[in-house]
Amino acid sequence: MDNLTIVEDADDAAIADWIARELGQALAATPGPVAITVPGGSTPFPILERLAAAPLDWRRVTVWPGDDRVVPEDHPASNTGRIRALMEPAGAEVVTLTIMEEVPSFALAWLGMGEDGHVASLFPNTDPRIDDPARIRRLTPDPLPPEAPFDRVSLTLPALLDSDRLMFVIRGEGKRRVFDAAVRGENDLPVARLLGAARQPVRCFA
């Protein structure tokens, strides 16, 4: 992939600094709002905490969870609730992800990835499609992850691909092997479908 840059051994501070620079450039390029999508799970929140401290015009930034568990926002498993707690005090608007939302183009789509190759909540059993006419779907992972056994609401592949840049944070040797195989086109997992259709710059912090 000519559009892929892999950055090895980046720590949380370096990743947050890079996102802040990208967001600053996007804000400088337009007087209007700028939308980004961010992942849930354990890895992003220390990075988001640092990012929220960046001196940006957060009032013009709309933060979309890439996916969420179908639970109340005050539930410990809610991505949206945790993102809101970090980003709203900085001044950002945080969207509650429902299938009725009108999804914008994103300046940056930040993704994680599971060892099964899922991105957002597009698990292999959901057969995510590049030509999906929907921008958001409610989905049921199979098998349900034991740490979060809930239905999901997720941005689809077309919604994620409608972005100026794609970014991954991949931690762990197992995930890195899956990601590298997807880059080489050696599997048909959701991450491989996304990468195969991506035409914008893709950066992976690994």
Domain count, the chain: 1
The per-residue b/e assignment along 38-54, b for 16 or more CB within 10 angstroms, e otherwise, is bbbeebbbebbebbbee
DSSP label at 59?
A: G
Q: In angstroms, rounded to a whole number, what is the distance separating the alpha carbons of residues 154 and 94?
A: 15
pLDDT value at residue 105? 97
Q: Residue 143 sits in a domain of what CATH number?
A: 3.40.50.1360
Q: What is the pLDDT of residues 11-68, one digit of tens each?
A: 999 999 999 999 999 999 999 999 999 998 888 999 999 999 999 999 999 999 999 9
pLDDT value at residue 145? 86
196: amino acid identity, one letter: G
Contact 99, 133 (CB under 8 A): no
Residues spanned by the domain of 193:
4-205
Contact 33, 60 (CB under 8 A): yes
pTM of the model: 0.95
Structure tokens at 191: 């991450």
Contact 206, 195 (CB under 8 A): no
Region of residue 178 (phi > 0: left; psi between -120 and 50: alpha; otherwise: beta): alpha
Considering Cα of 133, then 118, then 113, then 151, what sign does the dihedral take?
A: positive
Q: What is the mean pLDDT of the chain?
A: 96
Specify the 3-state DSSP secondary structure of 22: helix
Q: In angstroms, rounded to a whole number, what is the distance separating the alpha carbons of residues 176 and 77?
A: 25
Q: What is the pLDDT of residues 176-200, one digit of tens each?
A: 999 999 999 999 999 999 999 999 9
